[in-house]
Amino acid sequence: MLPNLYGMSRVELAEILSARGAPRFHADQIVRWLYARRRLDPASWTDLPKALRGELSHAARVDAPSIGRSLRASDGTVKHEIRLPGGGSVESVFMVQRDRVTLCVSSQVGCALDCTFCLTARMGLVRHLSPGEIVGQVAAIQETGEIGDRAFNVVFMGMGEPLHNYDGAIGAFRLLVDPDGFGLSRRRVTISTSGLAPAIERLAGETLRPRLAVSLNATTDEVRDRIMPINRRYPLARLLEACRLFARTTGERHTFEYVLLDGVNDTDADVARLTKLLRAHPAKLNLIPFNEVPGLLPYRSPARARVLAIRDRLLAEGLPVSIRWSRGAEARAACGQLALLEEVS
């Protein structure tokens, strides 16, 4: 099969060009055509020599993801099925809250980490996505016109564990923030992880890095082992050590996310332990009421009054905390609800 130019880094593009005897600087032009201008036909890349355009048209392909089905919720959230050039599909979400536009993208088809409150886990891991298959989700949503001229954020919080697909996720991030690519500020891109401690430490060493969100979701190893099996490999103490290293190395505050499961991790004792765990940690906390999927996931969300009471108690203890209320749940587009249902038993 011909190599796919879509998703290649500047270095990879330059190598393709060099092999054909073309100057490496044309890689910068190709990046602009692919991502800033979203023109996928090499014949239309008019600032490249005509002969080179013809060679690229025959020696390579430019295959980007495309939108299949879409489902809109009453709050304006849209869940898109994204068809992938490498085979299969993932789900991506377009969200608007007040004037803030956020695109939630997937990094894997399925997921290997088996968190018991996440529908994606029911699929298992099918495969990693390439950088092009990740950024192509953003481009496909841009093509719908839903974003318009508005600034937008990108969160790697869709299907899959981004740091399990480290090279794919970071390769996509670099294209998103490339001034000749999508041109996003790095502070508009967030990668979420369920707690791969060594990958968090690796991310801290990147010269250019996204924002980091860490899914905590429990205050004891016993509970976290049960609901997030990755904890058996990287327990709470190890995870928090990696987060402290990230904060020291980068000088940046990250986010902890805490999905509230009724009767599982929302007790008064949990709130007290959460305060103790995070009081001296340079991070903010997002509380996420569980998004229910009756018949498929065995948990319930605490009552709204309980969620507010937990937030207020944590605020009283001096923790920076907010609540991320569900958006798009009726379209199964909310946190933890993304999955290709025909793949879920």
* SS3 assignment, position 16: helix
Marked catalytic residue, from 91, 133, 161, 292:
91
Amino acid 110 reads G
Instruction: For residues 93 and 326, give the distance between their C-alpha atoms in angstroms, rounded to a whole number.
Output: 13
State how far the alpha carbon of 217 is from the alpha carbons of 46, 117, 270, in Å.
51, 10, 10
Query: Which residue bears the tokens 């508009």?
Result: 188
Q: For this structure, is 292 an active site residue?
A: no
Marked catalytic residue, from 206, 335, 342, 343:
335
Per the CB < 8 A criterion, the answer to whether 85 and 303 are in contact is no
Give the tokens for residue 89. 């599909």
Q: Are strands 152-156 and 189-193 parallel, antiparallel or unpaired?
A: parallel
Q: For this structure, is 161 an active site residue?
A: no
Query: Which residue bears the tokens 């060493």?
Result: 205
* SS3 assignment, position 288: strand
Per the CB < 8 A criterion, the answer to whether 143 and 164 are in contact is no
Amino acid 268 reads D
Nearest to 215 by CA among 302, 121, 344, 124: 121
Instruction: For residues 30 and 64, give the distance between their C-alpha atoms in angstroms, rounded to a whole number.
Output: 14
Q: Where is 133: in which H helix or E strand?
A: helix 131-143
Residues acting as catalytic residues: 91, 335
